[in-house]
């Protein structure tokens, strides 16, 4: 990611805010959406995602999985749209934490969220199967699944077979055949299937994408994404966890009914190939999803890369407690995707190259995405900030992070917007229209749950008209099963490419839910 001075970052934020304000002011539809949201007391997420206030009773929902991610979702769930009536988790410690929180500002617990009286009425189960046995008594309508990756598909299929709408955390499933089975089951049972790639519901990303799609950055030739961490210090590994005392009594025989060999594999599921999908699935999938949004959700052409255990389990490298680490996943990955460029249909050599890296030994630069266009550069930093700078053709004096800019509508050759700039680090702040689009915005968790519940109430009774999900352009889910399967295909095919050490071209049939073709079948990967 760019190494910038505080002054350059502020200029980039001001540039982004000013450009968004100018574009939203010029676009009648977006301007009216914002006005309607403000008049109706709704958040901007509702305006940009195309839903409105829920009338009548909130949707009755059960949460399955109340660990780290499940607790974030519980803490951010919207009570006006969603009535949490039950929670389920194999681990006693997670069930307790769901109620009381853990001191993290993003995991406040249901008692703090709803009050002790309301939280005390929520039924608590030790498995999703026990919850489903009482689904009718609970009058459940939907579930939110935030469990270890390998259990997403089995749990979702059980829930849809019981007639419940499903919002599952990413990655959609551990294998592409499972993704396809989930889509077919949702369609056959006329149920909504949503997947939690929350950037689809981030107002920050929506506004950034609006700039990209309106041509403000020109042609995109390269996107650089990364998520770097440093686990070389003692206690630096957030994925390696000890087993809480409350969980030590869990019996292996019972855990095997849910696919886990023992308590350690349940607690540390991200570290093993059977239970997780590694860095590409847990971190990279979010960022590849963001990159594909900027590229118009086109499917990639090919992928190649390197992955390895370059730190953990190597004697003499890092602290001794890392030498005998039994994790199976790679601790460093470097992946290159080839996407179709804007003129790919006329010339198949026109591509946008997307690179992704995730390492465990250095966190110098923040996670995020840098979008390089022929007319501008966009930096999405940690999902909370966005910065924008202009390119021009004046050699060494043109473009760069010290330029402030403004947007002029209808000035490009095709009538589109363009950026004008002047070189200074101390010029006046660009007018933003009273909205700071570049700081401390919602990451989209609440909005994705609001829209999920809105869709349950208002997009039925036929959720699959003509056998297809309602498109996002028509107000449908922004990350339905078909969209999310494409993200899973990118992540899991990248894993295969790294394992096989070869460049893999994507097959269009992999993206077709009615085809049995998959990258696992093509490369003999056991599913």
Spatial strand order in the sheet of 385-390: 385-390, 376-381, 368-373, 220-226, 351-358, 332-340, 302-308, 504-505
Distance CA 455, CA 94 (A): 29
Alpha helices in 146-227 (DSSP H): 152-161, 176-188, 203-213
pTM above 0.85, yes or no: yes
**End-to-end Cα distance, the chain:** 36
CA distances from 521 to 175, 511, 515 (A): 10, 13, 12
pLDDT of amino acid 432: 45
If DSSP codes are grouped into helix, strand and coil, which group holds residue 418?
strand
Domains 6-16+215-423 and 54-201+444-490 fall in the same CATH topology? no
Residue spans per domain, the chain: 6-16+215-423, 54-201+444-490
Into which CATH architecture does domain 6-16+215-423 fall? Answer: 2-Layer Sandwich (3.30)
Contacts of 147 (CB under 8 A, 6+ apart): 64, 65, 67, 70, 128, 155, 169
pLDDT of amino acid 394: 64
Residues 313-330 as b/e (b if ≥16 CB within 10 A, e otherwise) read beeeebeeebeebebebb
- Would you say how long the chain is, in residues? 527
Please give, one letter per residue, the 3-state secondary structure of 328-394: CCCCEEEEEEEEECCCCCCCCCCEEEEEEEECCECCCCCCEEEEEECCEEEEEECCCEEEEEECCCC
pLDDT of amino acid 68: 93
Distance CA 186, CA 469 (A): 10
Run of H or E including 454: helix 445-458
pLDDT of amino acid 404: 82
How many Å separate Cα 53 from the centre of its chain?
A: 24
> With contact defined as beta carbons under 8 Å apart, do 214 and 345 qualify?
no
Per-residue tens of pLDDT for the chain, all 527 residues: 778 999 999 999 999 999 998 888 888 788 887 777 766 667 778 888 889 999 899 999 999 999 999 999 999 999 999 999 999 999 999 999 999 998 888 899 999 999 999 999 999 999 999 999 999 999 999 999 999 999 999 999 999 999 999 999 999 999 999 999 999 999 999 999 999 999 999 999 999 999 999 999 999 999 999 999 999 887 788 899 999 999 999 999 999 999 999 999 999 999 999 999 999 999 999 999 999 999 999 999 999 999 999 899 888 776 677 777 889 999 999 999 999 998 999 999 999 999 999 999 999 999 999 999 999 999 999 999 999 999 876 655 556 788 887 676 654 545 567 766 654 444 344 444 445 554 446 889 999 999 999 999 999 999 999 999 999 989 999 999 999 999 999 999 999 999 999 999 999 999 999 999 999 999 999 88
Q: What does the angle CA 417 – CA 420 – CA 423 come to, to the nearest 5 degrees?
A: 160
Fold assignment, 54-201+444-490: Rossmann fold (3.40.50)
């Amino acid at each position: 990611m760019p190494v910038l001075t505080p002054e350059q970052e502020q200029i980039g934020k001001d540039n982004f805010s000013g450009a968004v304000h100018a574009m939203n002011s010029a676009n009648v539809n977006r301007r009216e959406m914002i006005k309607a949201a403000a008049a109706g007391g709704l958040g901007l997420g509702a305006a940009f995602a195309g839903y409105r206030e829920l009338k009548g009773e909130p949707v009755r929902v059960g949460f399955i999985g109340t660990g780290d991610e499940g607790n974030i979702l519980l803490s951010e769930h919207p009570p006006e749209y969603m009535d949490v009536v039950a929670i389920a988790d194999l681990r006693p410690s997670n069930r307790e934490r769901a109620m009381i929180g853990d001191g993290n500002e993003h995991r406040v617990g249901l008692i703090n969220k709803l009050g002790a009286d309301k939280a005390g009425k929520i039924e608590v189960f030790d498995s999703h199967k026990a919850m489903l046995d009482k689904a009718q008594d609970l009058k459940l309508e939907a579930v939110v699944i935030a469990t270890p990756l390998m259990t997403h598909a089995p749990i979702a299929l059980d829930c849809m077979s019981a007639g419940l709408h499903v919002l599952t955390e990413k990655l959609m499933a551990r294998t592409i055949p499972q993704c396809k089975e989930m889509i077919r089951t949702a369609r056959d049972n006329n149920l909504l299937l949503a997947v939690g790639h929350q950037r689809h519901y981030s107002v920050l990303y929506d506004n950034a994408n609006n700039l990209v799609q309106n041509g403000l950055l020109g042609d995109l030739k390269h996107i650089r994404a990364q998520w770097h961490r440093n686990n070389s210090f003692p206690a630096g590994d957030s994925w390696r966890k000890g087993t809480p005392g409350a969980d030590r009594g869990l019996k292996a025989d019972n855990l095997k009914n849910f696919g886990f060999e023992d308590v350690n594999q349940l607690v540390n599921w991200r570290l093993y190939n059977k239970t997780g999908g590694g860095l590409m699935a847990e971190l990279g999938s979010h960022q590849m999803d963001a990159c594909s949004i900027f590229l118009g959700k086109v499917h990639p052409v090919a992928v190649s890369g390197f992955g390895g255990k370059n730190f953990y389990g190597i004697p003499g490298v890092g602290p001794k407690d890392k030498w005998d680490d039994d994790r199976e996943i790679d601790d460093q990955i470097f992946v290159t995707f080839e996407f179709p460029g804007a003129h790919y249909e006329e010339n198949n050599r026109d591509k946008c190259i997307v690179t992704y890296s995730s390492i465990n030994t250095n966190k110098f630069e923040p996670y995020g995405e840098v979008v390089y266009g022929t007319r501008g550069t966009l930096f999405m930093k940690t999902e909370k900030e966005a910065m924008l700078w202009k390119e021009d053709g004046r050699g060494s004096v043109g473009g760069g992070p010290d330029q402030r800019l403004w947007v002029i509508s209808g000035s490009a050759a095709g009538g589109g917007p363009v950026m004008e700039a002047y070189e200074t680090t101390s010029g006046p702040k660009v007018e933003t229209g009273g909205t700071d689009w570049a700081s401390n915005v919602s990451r989209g968790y609440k909005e994705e749950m609001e829209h999920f519940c809105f869709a349950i109430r208002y997009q039925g009774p036929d959720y699959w008209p003509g056998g297809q999900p309602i498109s996002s352009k028509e107000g449908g889910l922004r990350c339905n099963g078909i969209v999310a399967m494409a993200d899973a295909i990118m992540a899991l095919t990248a894993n295969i490419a790294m394992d096989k050490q070869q460049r893999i071209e994507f097959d269009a049939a992999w993206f077709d839910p009615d085809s049995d073709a998959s990258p696992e079948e093509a490369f003999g990967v056991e599913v």
